Amino acid sequence: MERSASGPTWAIATPHEEATLAGAAAFEDGGNAVDAALRAATVLAVAYPHMCGVGGDLFALVQRPDGETLAVSSSGRAPGAADRADAADAGHVMPIRGPIPVTVPGAVAGWRAVHGTGAVLPWSGAFSRAIELAIDGVPVTRSLAATLAAPDEPFGADPGLSAIFFADGIPSPAGATVHQPALGATLAGIAEAGPEVLYGGDIGRAYVSGLNDAGSAISIEDLAAHRALVLPPLAAAFRGLHVSVVPPNSQGFVLLEILALLERLRVDADPHGPEAGTIARVFASSARDRDRHLGDPEHMTVHPSTLLDDGHLASLADEIRLERAASPPPRPNGDTIALVTADAEGFAVSLVQSLFWGFGSGICEPTTGIVAQNRGACFTLEPEHPNAFAPGKLPAHTLMPVIVHDEHGLAAVAGSMGGYAQPQINAQTLLHLVGGA
């Protein structure tokens, strides 16, 4: 079996064979697309530990059989005791690694919220295969091996990461088996006691204690205050399609702005054709809107509806007509996983989870095996910016699942890695879709 699989009444695609197998097993056990997505997501927390996990965030879109689409937004806030001065002392921009960019982990609460949208199998069953792989071992992928061997990264200096991935001080090569017993115990605890054991319970206290020792300001109160949100999605029409994304702090609205500009400019559906330069300019223009305005929705002064307003779009389109881009769009980057599932009952899931950069903050809390994300690196130190670093604040977020409908119903369930390039990746996917490619 490869990274995608299907049966008579279901389909799944993930970036890892073990995750695909776990999701397929959920279908065979009588589960639906929600159950399959959760099993795949927990397995990826073990098999792709450099890209996602208990210490990361999660965004998802879930279509239910009645046709309703729900957005799940579960990203963590900066610690309540976070100090901008500490970040400023480290340089003129937010640090990428270390304790300062660590934010509250949202993935586990996100898993629970997704489970609540329609799973039929027990919560604990979503963790069985992930726990087995953590304890019995999982082969190192080429992606993980490359991250571990990156010459400019200090992963081997972190005690938690070193104990798992650096036998005798040497990064584990592709194909080697790594064991993560502490993570396995953490997943078993979450399976048995629920997310509360992380968000205020014993596992959370152990995680906080280890991060405090590493210099993070995070507290058990920060974890206990976390809530996953289940919201109506943002949506817009594009050439006969109805495109849904997660609202801010996700950058999903950028995709809707890109599509609206492509429609206004009447750009050809071939993203590699003669209009490639115009498409690149659209990407750049929408990215500037994101960088100016995206942040914690409680602090945003410009709502996405304003950016999708006819007047604003007309102004951007006029600028693009005058200045055609001569260079291609930036190369995508980012350490994220996306998985998609669908079934004949009418459930469909696009789920994206991430630590942000490879191994996030570069800190693995050793007693829990949880790798702490560095999503706080998305903040800016500009004090008046809506995405300014501040205590208890949500950072601007790159994760953006996508679900698309047409006149017949579900047309596409999409997601990608790629960090800040995710809007352009998804836009190119939709251009192929409408172009019949």
H/E/C letters for each residue in 178-224?
A: ECCHHHHHHHHHHHHHCHHHCCCCHHHHHHHHHHHHCCCCCCHHHHH
Strand, helix or coil at 372? strand
What are the angstrom distances between the C-alpha of 322 and each of 233, 267, 308? 33, 15, 20
Tokens 């629920």 map to which residue? 194
The strand pairing partners of 72, in sequence order, are: 60, 230
Residues near 124 by Cβ (< 8 Å), separated by ≥ 6? 191, 192
Considering only CA atoms, which of 45, 224, 31, 69 is closest in space to residue 129? 45
DSSP designation for 388 = B
Strand, helix or coil at 146? helix
| Cβ density class 150-160: b for 16+ within 10 Å, e for less | eeebebeebeb
What are the angstrom distances between the C-alpha of 136 and each of 116, 132, 178, 262? 30, 6, 9, 50
Q: Is residue 42 annotated as a catalytic residue, yes or no?
A: no
For the chain, give the number of residues: 437
Residues near 117 by Cβ (< 8 Å), separated by ≥ 6? 34, 62, 64, 70, 72, 230
- Please tell me which residue in 42, 336, 368, 398 is annotated as part of the active site: 336
- Residue 242: CB atoms within 10 Å: 15
Please list the active-site residues: 336
